[in-house]
């Protein structure tokens, strides 16, 4: 005989304001098998949990139903509470009467009625719950970090520091990411390269860290603690192990007119190239789209000059397979393309640049050796206009709906650096709002205004028109003085919105993690679990989760590392016991379930059975590997005989819920 | 044909290739013919029959028979070979234990259709130039041959044997049949008309389970409707809903696996056109996921066990046909 | 503040003025800016506040060229030109404040005016 | 058709744990109202929804059944919702073939971020079912409410 306890939570007034909790407890008390039904103000609090625990002990309960918030919130809390007093944690069911009842309904009468029905469904289900014991599966003591920007680097270093092997997969020929392209960092104005490159070198020298540069993740299988990842090492036509990075080949390569991605296409590189002097690994890469040898079979200069024979024109893409316990996603961001914003004349005028291009223009290793010159005629600009929020905070049809977060600060930084270095330059910043939350951030912005006399104008630029004399007419409104301005600028800098890297979406599909509509990875909980994805064993680091500046990215990178280390420290993890299982007596051995299983958790065995007529027969039956099964239930529906069922969500349990709701 | 089959069966028994033969034998009347297993030449001589009434599909019997000791000879008509292939795909039969001789298919006759003409006391039939000469206790009667054939043969989809070890007689081709005409006609009715049509048909169901028991796709060790733990167990139709449930679920369970052999409708004592449910699924699968004939081969994936990322959404149901 | 008038303008324009984030790009892009007393962003803001009388009495209404540059460039799809147009319509169709009365018409009739124009004018100005 | 203004349909919603159930929670967190008629059953994945559950719901007196899952391509289990899509398309087509009103059944993809879509979908679906009136075609007469 079942002895079921029902516990109705008020959640302060969150539930109690719209649901008559006493009535719910009263009504559920009359359900078959229910021996105690109580309400309490905060069931998840310690005293609330104690109430549940005491009831379990006192009434020797065989199952409990908590009518409270979403099971996604506190299911684990109550399972742990039950387990602590000896009740199997899987004999706990949650009726969600907050998110799915009190918060969405206004009338007490109907909301209470619904809460009672939800409670009844949970009682009906808990009647059929079976105690489940979680199995264990081993954890592979190795982590994968996808993306080698500052986020990935920080995560990898921290994980390696804790003594675990880490692989970094970076799609570009070098790690470093966007930060490597940046000149100075706010709010301290220290040189980005000076703080980043030592970390890059540390990565290459740490024996626990293995960098797969110029590589991509092509397949992910498995589950937390036991992922099998296929990494595609793209052919770079240079043997990484032999190349010393001397750079002779890049000097001699006759193909010198390839737009240099690292400098945002503001100058050229050769077909065989090393992205920048501090690249890690410092290994040359041949760009097959421009290499004459690879395109026409004629040239071979690099091969001739290479003293170590590292050039290999026959190199093929290579696929390697590796096992990992944890995966950290650090795929980062890119500035958006500005093609559709005709009004800013980005495509028409070389002197309208993005902020990232300005970084390169001002960088000592950039195309002008650190002297700020206009890209068009290499003259000093004397009037510079910055435009904020280009493509950020837009309606979906016009751009990105979110604030890109970093633009206010880097624009202040640019304005300040320019005024510092070229005091004869006038700098205008058109802003909608200046957003500077962050340590020393507003002080920094104020310095730009007060100390460096940067002209901040509240208003948006409406139109940018290149003129025949090389000047650029910037038409904008000044909302505070209520006038329309025209500025004859020499250089216009657009603070382009940032968006997640394009590789993130297919990666999310491979990892079975979720993304929001903007293609940022969704964290498991917006406040309490900001660096974990909802998929166990997958962690998020840096701008792939949302716009972030460098200090935040590094903080999140370390946080993701801490979470990954926490996982890798365990020798085994508890498996989800809500897995499929096959009733061998009913199994037909038809292979339907095997075909729909995404994890390959089902295999077939020939097994001897005693038949009802006392003969023995050998039958082919399905067998589920509970460590591999993730409990989706696809097999249960594919199985025509109903031999396949799912623990925790069995056919009879779900039907009992259906019955309770429909009654 | 019958002689050739008997001769070959006796040869294979004699040389030890097989130790049993599955075919058909006469019942009380010459037209109530049932599948039967023969172990000796004498039994074959006495009872083996292959004529206009041997319409039963013997493939399903091989689920059990092929797991016994020794090899069994099976005479399979074209439609039976599709069922057999499908059973191989689902690992339900042991191919090595069956020696298959392909024999020509129908059209087979349906005694109910003859009786429906008011002809009783039937003793024998003969097809002469597509006129059926019927010998009865009360003298000879005639009717057009095609009016007496089985429903499933009227919509024959294929005369081709998709699997065999040897053939007696000619192999045929896959035919262009009009088998989806009736499904289409129903689709073009209004929802109310369709509901009334099926209400009338399914209300006749007496839950004898003949459709399930004869179906070569329904070979479950234990049917969900017989399993007290499945939550849907019911042995008899106790009200209007249960036959809906039974027939929809049964059709769904064989969707993508049903070879359209037509046995369900043939054996239904209440003459419910059950094959239309299966054909509806087959028609939808063909239209939405590409042409698929269950049993045509033993390796392709069943349409419900695979998917395409570009599959249509269920809202397509709203966009097609009549509401 | 005339609530009905605001409602009427919002409905006629189909614009949700609350979407405006006050960036001023509409005014930054407006070719008639210097001619106007009230500028596109002010139209949006003043309609939101319900401060519509001032707009209706301002010549700014007729300075808008309906070039739709503001609509095209508004980052948040607020469509200021549609607000201006709606205010203009409200001014033209103001009830009980007709620009013409039927009695004034006969004197104004010119032989060259097409009859249809007269009918249209009646429909437009007398309701 | 019978017009009954007081008719309150019983609606069963099967929601996958990872996307749609979280989407439903989000519409709660955002206080987005939808009718009380909708009662949600949590399943690990939309592919766990057996056609038997749907028929069972109708049998026991549900007036509408809606299944919600992750958007195709976003399934937590990689491929579950693709199987759901095929199965449920065929099932709904069959129910339509049997003359069951189309608007009693629905499949909708709702992500964890789409709280507003969840609420709007439930509102619309409830309205559609309310218009159809009580389910008379598929119900078990023994279970009819008195």
What tens digit of pLDDT does each residue of A603-643 get? 899 988 887 788 888 889 999 988 778 899 999 999 999 89
Nearest Cβ partner of A462 from C22, C25, C76?
A: C25
Record the tokens describing residue D24, joined without a space.
Answer: 């439903």
- Give D78's contacts in chain A (Cβ within 8 Å): 509, 512, 598
Q: Are A37 and A120 in contact (CB under 8 A)?
A: no
B39 pLDDT band (50/70/90 cuts)?
Answer: very high
Q: Do D74 and A114 lie within an 8 Å CB cutoff?
A: no
CA distance A224 to A566: 12
CA distance A646 to A624: 11
> What is the SS3 assignment for D45?
coil
| Chain C interface test: which of A398, A462, A476, A479 (most C C-beta within 10 Å) | A462
Secondary structure element (H or E) that encloses residue A372, with its range: none
What tens digit of pLDDT does each residue of B74-94 get? 999 999 999 999 999 999 999
Res A615: pLDDT: 81
Res A569: pLDDT: 96
B83: Cβ–Cβ under 8 A, 6 or more apart, which residues?
B57, B59, B60, B216, B217, B259, B261, B295
CA distance C76 to C20: 7
| Chain B interface test: which of D86, D107, D125 (most B C-beta within 10 Å) | D86
Phi, psi of A341 (to 5 degrees): -95, 75
Place of tokens 């579950």: D80
Place of tokens 């519409």: D27
A115: Cβ–Cβ under 8 A, 6 or more apart, which residues?
A15, A19, A24, A67, A95, A97, A101, A102
Q: Do A114 and D41 lie within an 8 Å CB cutoff?
A: no
What tens digit of pLDDT does each residue of B274-298 get? 999 999 999 999 999 999 999 999 8
Interface contacts (A, C; CB < 8 Å): 77
Q: Are D1 and D28 in contact (CB under 8 A)?
A: no
Longest dimension (CA), chain A: 102
Tell me the mean pLDDT in the region B162-170.
91
CATH number belonging to domain A142-234+317-332+501-568 = 3.50.50.60
- Establish whether domains A142-234+317-332+501-568 and A334-499 are of one fold: yes
CA distance D65 to D14: 8
Angle between helices A355-362 and A407-421 (to 10 degrees): 30
CA distance B321 to B176: 23
A337 pLDDT band (50/70/90 cuts)?
Answer: very high
Task: With a cut of 60, say whether residue B12 has pLDDT above it.
Answer: yes
Within an 8 Å CB–CB cutoff, is residue A482 touching chain C? yes
Q: Write the CA distances from B80 to A363, B97, B110, B216, integer angstroms.
A: 79, 17, 18, 9
Q: Do B186 and D91 lie within an 8 Å CB cutoff?
A: no
Q: Write the CA distances from A74 to A11, D43, D84, integer angstroms.
A: 12, 17, 29
What tens digit of pLDDT does each residue of A458-481 get? 999 999 999 999 999 999 999 999
CA distance B118 to C29: 91
Residues across chain B: 323
Tell me the mean pLDDT in the region A407-431.
96
Q: Are A302 and A253 in contact (CB under 8 A)?
A: yes
Task: With a cut of 90, say whether residue C125 has pLDDT above it.
Answer: no
CA dihedral over B57, B60, B65, B67, signed as positive or negative? positive
Within an 8 Å CB–CB cutoff, is residue D136 touching chain B? no
- Give C30's contacts in chain A (Cβ within 8 Å): 462, 477, 484
Q: Write the CA distances from B91 to A591, A608, A621, B80, B86, integer angstroms.
A: 8, 16, 10, 17, 9
Residues across chain D: 146
Task: With a cut of 90, say whether residue A492 has pLDDT above it.
Answer: yes
Omega before residue D82 within 30° of 0, cis: no
Per-residue 3-state assignment (H helix, E strand, C coil) for B202-240: HHCCCCCCHHHHHCCCCCCCCCHHHCCCCCCCCCCCCCH
Give the domain C3-96 fold. Fumarate Reductase Iron-sulfur Protein; Chain B, domain 2 (1.10.1060)
Task: With a cut of 80, say whether residue A342 has pLDDT above it.
Answer: yes
Q: Do D80 and A632 lie within an 8 Å CB cutoff?
A: yes
Interface present between B and A (3 or more CB pairs within 8 Å)? yes
What is the C-alpha end-to-end distance of chain C, expressed in Å? 23
- Give A460's contacts in chain C (Cβ within 8 Å): 23-25, 28, 75
Nearest Cβ partner of D53 from A100, A534, A658?
A: A658
CA distance B165 to B71: 13
Q: Write the CA distances from A241 to A105, A281, A310, B40, integer angstroms.
A: 65, 10, 8, 76
- Give D87's contacts in chain A (Cβ within 8 Å): 637
Within an 8 Å CB–CB cutoff, is residue A380 touching chain B? no
CA distance A55 to B141: 84
Q: Write the CA distances from C57 to C30, C38, C53, integer angstroms.
A: 20, 11, 6
Task: Mark which residues 382-441 of A lie under 8 Å from C by CB.
Answer: 389, 391, 393-395, 397-399, 432
Tell me the mean pLDDT in the region C29-45.
94
Neighbouring chains of A at 3+ CB pairs under 8 Å are B, C, D
Record the tokens describing residue A538, joined without a space.
Answer: 């997958």
Nearest Cβ partner of D60 from A106, A113, A662?
A: A662
Angstroms from B155 CA to nearest CA on chain D: 20
What tens digit of pLDDT does each residue of C38-87 get? 999 999 999 999 999 999 999 999 889 889 999 999 999 999 999 999 99
Q: Are A148 and A177 in contact (CB under 8 A)?
A: yes
**DSSP states of B157-198:** -B---SS-SEESS----B----TTHHHHHHHTS-HHHHHHHH
Domain edges within chain A = 4-128, 142-234+317-332+501-568, 248-305, 334-499, 580-647
CA distance B172 to B181: 23
Nearest Cβ partner of A517 from D39, D87, D113?
A: D113
**DSSP states of A223-291:** ETTEEEEEEEE---SB-TTT-----HHHHH-S---EE-GGGTTSSEE-SEE-SSTT-SS---EE-TTT-
Q: Do D82 and B285 lie within an 8 Å CB cutoff?
A: no
What tens digit of pLDDT does each residue of D6-57 get? 789 999 999 999 999 999 999 999 999 999 999 999 999 999 999 999 998 9
Chain-centre distance of CA A127, in angstroms? 39
What tens digit of pLDDT does each residue of B199-246 get? 888 888 888 889 999 999 999 988 888 888 777 777 665 666 777 788
Res A55: pLDDT: 95
CA distance A32 to A30: 6
Q: Do A641 and B306 lie within an 8 Å CB cutoff?
A: no
Angstroms from A620 CA to nearest CA on chain D: 24
Res B322: pLDDT: 63
| Chain D interface test: which of B230, B305, B314, B323 (most D C-beta within 10 Å) | B314
Q: Do B222 and A585 lie within an 8 Å CB cutoff?
A: yes
Tell me the mean pLDDT in the region A215-226.
91
What is the strand order of the sheet D105-109 is part of? D38-43, D11-16, D64-69, D105-109
Q: Are A100 and A163 in contact (CB under 8 A)?
A: no
Q: In CATH, which of 3.90.1720.10, 3.40.50.960, 3.40.140.10, 3.40.50.12280 is domain A4-128? A: 3.40.50.960
Per-residue 3-state assignment (H helix, E strand, C coil) for A72-101: HHHHHHHHHHHHHCCCCHHHEEEEECHHHH
Res D1: pLDDT: 44
Omega before residue C44 within 30° of 0, cis: no
Q: Do A646 and D48 lie within an 8 Å CB cutoff?
A: yes
Angstroms from A535 CA to nearest CA on chain D: 8
Q: Confirm or reject CATH 3.40.1190.20 for domain A580-647, answering yes or no.
A: no
Task: With a cut of 70, say whether residue D2 has pLDDT above it.
Answer: no
Q: In CATH, which of 3.50.50.60, 3.10.20.30, 3.30.70.260, 3.30.70.20 is domain A334-499? A: 3.50.50.60
Provide ipTM, 2 decimals. Answer: 0.77
What tens digit of pLDDT does each residue of A55-100 get? 999 999 999 999 999 999 899 999 999 999 999 999 999 999 999 9
Q: Do A642 and B90 lie within an 8 Å CB cutoff?
A: no
Above pLDDT 70, what percent of chain B? 97
Q: Do D50 and A646 lie within an 8 Å CB cutoff?
A: no
- Give C29's contacts in chain A (Cβ within 8 Å): 343, 462-463, 475
**DSSP states of A580-615:** EEE-TTT----SHHHHH-TT--EEEEEEEEE-TTS-
Per-chain mean pLDDT for chain B: 88
Nearest Cβ partner of A475 from C23, C28, C77?
A: C28
Neighbouring chains of B at 3+ CB pairs under 8 Å are A, D
Phi, psi of A595 (to 5 degrees): -70, -30
Nearest Cβ partner of A479 from C24, C72, C74?
A: C24
In terms of CA atoms, which chain B residue is nearest residue A638?
A: B305
What tens digit of pLDDT does each residue of A246-295 get? 999 999 999 999 999 999 999 999 999 999 999 999 999 999 999 999 99
Omega before residue A187 within 30° of 0, cis: yes
CA distance A259 to A268: 4
CA distance A518 to A336: 12
Domain edges within chain C = 3-96, 99-127
Place of tokens 């709007």: D120
């Amino acid at each position: 005989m079942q002895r079921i306890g029902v516990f109705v939570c008020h959640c302060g007034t969150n539930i109690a304001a719209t649901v008559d909790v006493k009535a719910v407890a009263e009504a559920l008390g009359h359900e078959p098998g229910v021996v105690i039904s109580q309400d309490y103000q905060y069931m998840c609090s310690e005293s609330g949990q104690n109430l549940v625990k005491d009831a379990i002990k006192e009434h020797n309960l065989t199952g409990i139903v908590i009518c409270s918030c979403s099971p996604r919130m506190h299911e684990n809390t109550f399972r742990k509470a039950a387990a602590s007093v000896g009740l199997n944690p899987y004999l706990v069911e949650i009726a969600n009467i907050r998110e799915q009842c009190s918060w969405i309904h206004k009338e007490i009468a109907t909301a209470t009625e619904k809460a009672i029905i939800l409670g009844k469904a949970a009682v009906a289900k808990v009647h059929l719950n079976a105690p489940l014991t979680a199995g264990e599966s081993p954890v592979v003591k190795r982590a994968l970090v996808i993306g080698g920007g500052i986020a990935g680097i920080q995560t990898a270093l921290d994980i390696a520091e804790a003594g675990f092997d880490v692989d970094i997969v970076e799609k570009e020929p070098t790690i470093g990411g966007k930060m490597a392209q940046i000149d100075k960092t706010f709010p301290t104005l220290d040189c980005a390269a000076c703080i980043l490159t030592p970390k890059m070198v540390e990565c290459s020298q740490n024996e626990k860290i293995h960098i797969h540069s110029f590589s991509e993740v092509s397949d992910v299988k498995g589950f937390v603690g036991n992922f099998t990842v296929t990494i595609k090492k793209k052919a770079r036509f240079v043997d990484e192990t032999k190349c010393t990075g001397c750079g002779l080949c890049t000097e001699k390569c006759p193909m010198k007119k390839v737009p240099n991605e690292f400098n945002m296409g503001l100058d050229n590189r050769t077909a065989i190239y090393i992205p920048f002097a501090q690249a890690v690994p410092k290994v040359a890469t041949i760009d097959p789209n421009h290499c004459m040898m690879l395109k026409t079979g004629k040239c071979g200069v690099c091969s001739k000059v290479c003293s170590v024979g590292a050039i290999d024109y026959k190199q093929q893409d290579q696929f390697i397979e590796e096992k990992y316990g944890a995966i950290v996603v650090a795929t980062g961001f890119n500035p958006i393309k500005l093609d559709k914003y005709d009004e800013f004349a980005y495509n028409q005028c070389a002197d309208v640049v993005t902020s990232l291009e300005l970084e390169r223009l001002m960088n000592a290793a950039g195309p002008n050796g650190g002297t700020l010159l206009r890209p068009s005629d290499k003259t000093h600009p004397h009037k510079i206009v910055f435009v904020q929020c280009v493509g950020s905070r837009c309606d979906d049809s016009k751009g990105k709906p979110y604030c890109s977060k970093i633009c206010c600060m880097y624009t202040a930084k640019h304005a300040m650096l320019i005024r510092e270095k070229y005091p004869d330059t006038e700098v205008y910043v058109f802003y909608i709002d200046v957003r500077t939350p962050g340590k020393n951030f507003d002080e920094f912005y104020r310095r730009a205004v007060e100390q460096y006399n940067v002209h901040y104008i509240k208003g948006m630029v409406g139109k940018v028109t290149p003129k025949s004399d090389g000047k650029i007419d910037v038409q904008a409104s000044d909302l505070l003085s209520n006038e329309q301005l025209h500025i004859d600028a020499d250089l216009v800098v657009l603070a382009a919105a940032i968006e997640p890297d394009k590789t993130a979406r297919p990666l999310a599909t491979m990892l079975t993690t979720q993304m929001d509509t903007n293609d940022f990875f969704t964290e498991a909980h917006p406040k309490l679990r900001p660096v974990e994805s909802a998929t166990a064993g997958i962690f998020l680091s840096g701008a792939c989760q949302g716009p972030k500046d460098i200090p935040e990215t590094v903080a999140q990178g370390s946080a993701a590392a801490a979470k990954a280390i926490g996982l890798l420290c365990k020798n085994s993890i508890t498996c989800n016991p809500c897995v499929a299982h096959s009733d061998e007596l009913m199994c037909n051995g038809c292979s339907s379930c095997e075909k729909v299983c995404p994890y390959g958790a089902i295999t077939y065995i020939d097994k001897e059975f005693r038949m009802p007529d006392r003969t023995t027969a050998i039958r082919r039956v399905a067998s589920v590997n509970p460590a591999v099964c993730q409990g989706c239930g696809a097999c249960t529906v594919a199985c025509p005989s109903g031999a396949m069922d799912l623990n925790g969500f069995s056919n009879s349990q779900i039907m009992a819920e259906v019955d309770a709701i429909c009654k | 044909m019958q002689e050739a089959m008997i001769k070959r069966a006796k040869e294979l028994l004699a040389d030890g290739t097989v130790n049993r033969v599955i075919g058909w034998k006469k019942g009380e009347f010459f037209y109530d013919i049932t599948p039967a297993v023969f172990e000796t030449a004498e039994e074959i001589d006495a009872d083996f029959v292959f004529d206009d009434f041997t319409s039963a599909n013997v493939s399903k019997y091989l689920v059990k028979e092929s797991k016994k000791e020794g090899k069994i000879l099976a005479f399979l008509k074209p439609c039976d070979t599709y069922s057999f292939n499908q059973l191989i795909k689902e690992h339900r039969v042991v191919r090595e234990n069956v020696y298959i001789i392909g024999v020509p298919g129908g059209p087979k006759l349906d005694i109910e259709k003859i009786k429906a003409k008011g002809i009783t006391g039937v003793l024998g039939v003969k097809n002469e130039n597509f006129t059926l000469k019927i010998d009865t206790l009360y003298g000879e009667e005639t009717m057009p041959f095609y009016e007496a054939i089985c429903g499933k043969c009227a919509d024959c989809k294929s005369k081709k044997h998709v699997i065999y070890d040897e053939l007696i007689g000619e192999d045929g081709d896959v035919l262009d049949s009009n088998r989806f005409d009736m499904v289409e006609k129903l689709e073009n009715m209004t929802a109310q008309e369709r509901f009334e049509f099926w209400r009338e048909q399914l209300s006749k169901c007496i839950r004898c389970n003949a459709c399930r028991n004869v179906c070569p796709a329904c070979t479950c060790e234990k049917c969900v409707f017989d399993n007290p733990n499945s939550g849907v167990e019911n042995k008899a139709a106790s009200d209007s809903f249960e036959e809906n449930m039974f027939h929809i679920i049964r059709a769904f369970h064989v969707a993508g696996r049903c070879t359209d052999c037509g046995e369900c409708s043939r054996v239904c004592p209440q003459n419910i056109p059950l094959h239309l449910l299966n054909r509806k699924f087959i028609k939808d699968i063909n239209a939405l996921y590409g042409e698929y004939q269950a049993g045509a081969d033993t390796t392709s994936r069943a349409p419900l066990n695979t998917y395409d990322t570009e599959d249509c959404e269920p809202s397509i149901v709203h966009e097609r046909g009549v509401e | 503040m005339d609530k009905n008038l605001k409602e009427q303008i919002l409905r006629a324009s189909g614009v949700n003025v609350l979407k405006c984030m006050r960036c001023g790009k509409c005014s930054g892009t407006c070719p008639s800016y210097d001619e106007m007393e009230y500028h596109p962003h002010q139209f949006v803001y003043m309609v939101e506040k319900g401060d519509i009388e001032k707009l209706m009495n301002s010549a700014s209404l007729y300075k808008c060229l309906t070039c739709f540059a503001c609509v095209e460039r508004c980052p948040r799809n607020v469509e200021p030109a549609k607000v201006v147009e709606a205010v203009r319509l409200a001014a033209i169709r103001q009830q009980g404040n007709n620009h013409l009365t039927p009695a004034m018409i006969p004197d104004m009739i010119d032989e060259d005016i097409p009859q249809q124009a007269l009918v249209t004018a009646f429909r437009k100005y007398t309701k | 058709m019978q017009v009954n203004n007081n008719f309150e349909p019983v609606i069963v919603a099967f929601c996958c744990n990872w996307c749609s159930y979280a989407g439903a929670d989000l519409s709660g967190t955002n206080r987005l109202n939808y009718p009380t008629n909708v009662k949600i059953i949590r399943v690990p994945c939309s592919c766990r929804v057996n056609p038997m559950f749907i028929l069972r719901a109708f049998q026991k007196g549900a007036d509408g059944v809606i299944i919600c899952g992750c958007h195709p391509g976003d399934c937590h289990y990689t491929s579950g919702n693709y199987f759901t899509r095929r199965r449920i398309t065929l099932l709904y087509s069959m129910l339509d073939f049997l003359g069951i009103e189309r608007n009693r059944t629905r499949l909708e993809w709702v992500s964890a971020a789409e709280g507003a879509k969840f609420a709007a979908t439930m509102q619309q679906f409830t309205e559609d079912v309310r218009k159809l009136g009580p389910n008379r075609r598929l119900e078990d007469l023994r279970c009819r409410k008195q």
